Amino acid sequence: MDRETLLVLGPPAEPLMARLRALAADFEIVAGDTPEDFERAAPEAAIILAWFTSRDLLRQVILMSPQLRWVHIFSAGMNHLMSAELVASRAVLTNAKGVFSQSLGEWALGAILYFAKDFPRLLHDQAAHRWAPFEVLEVSGQTVGIVGYGDIGRAVASRARAMGMRVLGLTRHGPLPGRPDDFAEEIFAPADIVRMIEQSDYLVVTAPLTQETRNLVGQAEIAAMKPDSVIINIGRGPVINEEALVRALSEKRIKGAALDVFHREPLSGDHPLYSLKNVLLSPHCADNTPGWLDNAMTLFLANLERYRKGEPLANIVAEKELGY
């Protein structure tokens, strides 16, 4: 393969750039965070790595790159970078699916145990120097419903099953006849979401944000939750109707919520979610493990080696307009 041009949209001083520069014999690597940084190289560029960048910069660089063959997004979720130009591009689009699934699955399981064992009460009593035994719940035998039963959803499911929980999943296409799942007892289509929610003690949202999933868990769906159920969101904030959720939590119509993502981030200091004692908040860092960026780079470099050898790329986004 001739030496091709790889554009990296992100700070040139990023430490992980050293792993890319080791490939200088095979690729001309140009990094930057403004359109001007790519004016010379973009006309001949074959690859874009969208590392830390904005939708607008990615859109502009795509328009500057007529020879583009491949765009890689370093995250699994891509709604923050999607544009008409990216969807219309003939370039293959890939993402980092799988890199963050295990840590998110662990966080969801931690949130389930947080409410089942009433850790807030333990912490409160400890701080008050109070010895006050109480009953805790077993999660074994309880049901977890997973909205968005993809790679992250299955990471949640495998851990829930290991704890003896019953698993239900919801996918865009619903159940596939003759294809039982390793973890989920039943797969639902979006039209049947209420039926799944009515059975769920824990509702875990892992769905990406698309036109189809925005407000997928709305007022009617939240109303269908059991009074002692908990909702957990590790997908994207707008998949849940935040106003309806705040009302349900404030009125204690559901037991609680564990949220890593929100409609607007960062969450404003006066947001009502901060004041609710039945809410566990995480500042969109549930998958920020010590090696998460290094793992994301490792995945890209493995895909780059496939590209160099002319092999099929991994993690191809088949439907760009949907983002997965």
Does 319 reside within a domain?
Answer: no
Cβ atoms within 10 Å of 205's Cβ, excluding its own: 27
Q: 61 and 133: one domain?
A: no
**Per the residue annotation, which of 159, 166, 236, 242 is the catalytic one?**
236
For residue 295, the model assigns a pLDDT of 94
- The answer on 162 and 249 residing in a single domain is yes
**Residue 281 scores a pLDDT above 60:** yes
Q: Is 89 inside any structural domain? A: yes
**116 found inside a domain:** yes
Residue 214 is encoded by which pair of tokens?
């925005």
DSSP 3-state of 217: strand
pLDDT of residue 321: 78
Note whether residue 143 is domain-resident.
yes
Q: 3-state class of 233 per DSSP?
A: strand
- Once rounded to an integer, what is the mean pLDDT over residues 265-286? 97
Residue 323 domain-assigned (yes or no)? no
Count of domains forming the chain: 2
pLDDT of residue 14 exceeding 90:
no
Residues 107 and 89 both lie in one domain: no
Q: CA-to-CA distance for 70 and 58, rounded, in angstroms?
A: 13
**Token digits of residue 136:** 């805790």
Question: Which residue matches tokens 């860092």?
Answer: 285
User: Of 69, 80, 247, 284, which is the active-site residue?
Assistant: 284
Residues 134 and 29 in one domain: no
Per-residue 3-state assignment (H helix, E strand, C coil) for 112-180: HHHHHCCHHHHHHHHHCCCCCCCCCCCCCCCEEEEECCCHHHHHHHHHHHHCCCEEEEECCCCCCCCCC
Residues 128 and 173 both lie in one domain: yes
Note the pTM of the prediction, 2 decimals: 0.92
- Distance, first Cα to last Cα, the chain: 29
pLDDT (tens digit per residue) in 119-154: 999 999 999 999 999 999 999 999 999 999 999 999
Same domain, 276 and 304: no
What is the residue-averaged pLDDT of the chain?
95
Structure tokens at 60: 């502009």
Quick one: pLDDT band at residue 324, thresholds 50, 70, 90? Answer: low
- Model confidence over 185-244: pLDDT tens digits? 999 999 999 999 999 999 999 999 999 999 999 999 999 999 999 999 999 999 999 999
Q: Are residues 261 and 305 in the same domain?
A: no
| Token code pair at residue 188 | 């639902």
CATH number for position 48: 3.40.50.720
Let me know whether 152 and 255 are in one domain.
yes
pLDDT of 59 over the 80 cut = yes
Let me know if residue 118 belongs to a domain: yes
The single residue of 39, 265, 305, 311 carrying the catalytic annotation is: 265
pLDDT for position 15: 85
What CA–CA distances, in Å, run from 12 to 34, 52, 65, 199, 228? 11, 10, 19, 50, 50
Residue 318 falls inside a structural domain: no
DSSP 234-296: -S-GGGB-HHHHHHHHHTTSSSEEEES--SSSSPPTT-GGGG-TTEEE--S-TT--TTHHHHH
pLDDT at 1 over 70: no
Residue 36 binned pLDDT confidence (cut-offs 50, 70, 90): very high
Q: Please state, in angstroms and rounded to a whole number, the distance separating the CA atoms of residues 322 and 25.
A: 36
Tokens (6 digits) for 58: 């990615």
Q: pLDDT tens across 158-185, in order? A: 999 999 999 999 999 999 887 789 999 9
For the cut 80, the answer to whether the pLDDT of residue 2 exceeds it is no
Burial of 138 (0-12, 13-18, 19+ CB in 10 A): exposed
Is 263 in the same domain as 303? no
Counting residues of the chain whose pLDDT is more than 70, the rounded percentage is 99
Are residues 127 and 268 both part of a single domain? yes
76, 197: one domain: no
- 45 and 124 together in one domain: no
What's the domain range around 95? 4-99+291-309
Give a yes or no: residue 322 inside a domain: no
Catalytic annotation present for 265: yes
What would the mean pLDDT of 26-50 be, rounded to a whole number?
96
Describe the strand order of the beta sheet including 92-94 as a list of residue ranges.
Answer: 27-32, 4-9, 45-50, 70-73, 92-94
